Amino acid sequence: MSAIVQTIVYGLTIGSVYVLVACGYSLVFATTRIVNFAQGALVVVGGYLAWWLYADLARGDVPLVVVALVVVILTAGVGVLVDLVAVAPLGRFDPVTNISWLVTTFAVGIVAQELVAKTISDTGQTLPALADSILGWRGSVVADVAIQPADVVLVVTTLVVVAGLALFQARTRVGSAFRAVAQDRQAASLMGINPRSIVMLSFALAGALAGLSAILIAPRLGVRFNIVLNLGVLGFVAAVLGGLGSIKGAVIGGYAVGLVEGMVGSITSNAAAWQPIVVFALFVIVLALRPTGLLGRPQVEKV
């Protein structure tokens, strides 16, 4: 029983962060057909900005919730900056045949990390949880597995954000513009939509999600530079598993990766070594059967 509870708790908590990071990848891919390899670095930027604002600048005198809102706005701005520096200068290009974006987004991510290391901190830091209690509840132990308020906040916040993104895309005019640009950028521009503005907005939302995920996961993993690998790479795996460009796919892929890691951790004492192997094996199997991911749709080119 404890193994099942541990798997569920781990899968939901770490999977929620994968979901947020995967949504960032999918939002950008939907409007540009490129993969923003700076997404993992944005998580690092968000984490260190939060630590600097909360622990170093405000000395803990400002509520962490307020700091979180500021960081989400700042990382949204950093996301736009990534677009302006790494993608916009490339002009109009076919992302399939011109893969310059791969180098530029990756390079911008490295530069962002180095700037953080030089200006804020180059060592691991810690942040407290957004909430240490919920209506007086400070945690429980179920089948020898501790469940903390921070875990509940993480999962609930992720579900609310994902639901908000889904409603935004389905029920708003800007969401309709997102879908139009994703389907046919040239046709969208003929309908009066500014594709460049929509692309910038997608980068801003991706940056905001990165900042939010950094703050939510900090109580569990801390603020560290290797988050780029842990969350950036596995968030990308989750996005591809579910289907790049699909918010629903990001949810399925993120929680699938989290639950697989949880299952591996419950059956072996050397989870750190086996988790990447099993996750990437699942990745290969799914792509071999469905190259576009579980919910992805193949691009049909009309001639």
Q: Which tens digit of pLDDT belongs to each residue from 48-63?
A: 999 999 988 877 788 8
95 part of a folded domain: yes
Token representation of residue 77: 């701005």
132 part of a folded domain: yes
41 part of a folded domain: yes
Instruction: Determine if the pTM surpasses 0.85.
Output: yes
Distance CA 215, CA 55 (A): 13
Residue 130: give the domain boundaries. Answer: 2-289
**Which residue did the predictor score with more confidence, 20 or 219?**
20
Q: Averaged over 188-193, what is the pLDDT?
A: 84
Helices marked H in the chain — which ranges?
2-32, 39-51, 64-82, 100-119, 149-171, 173-183, 185-190, 195-221, 227, 234-242, 247-267, 271-289
Say what the pLDDT of residue 298 is: 62
295 part of a folded domain: no
294 part of a folded domain: no
CB contact burial 260-294 (16+ within 10 A = b; e otherwise): bbbbbbbeeeebeeebbebbeeebeebeeeeebbb
Compute CA distances 262 → 115, 158, 177, 184, whole Å: 34, 18, 38, 39
250 part of a folded domain: yes
Inform me whether the pLDDT recorded for 20 exceeds 60. Answer: yes
Specify the residue for token string 């940056």. 207
What total of structural domains would you count in the chain? Answer: 1
35 part of a folded domain: yes
State the CATH number of the domain containing residue 147: 1.10.3470
302 part of a folded domain: no
pLDDT digits (tens, 9 = 90+) for 104-119: 999 999 999 999 999 9
Say what the pLDDT of residue 302 is: 46
Q: Averaged over 217-228, what is the pLDDT?
A: 85
DSSP conformational letter for 141: E
Q: Averaged over 182-205, what is the pLDDT?
A: 88
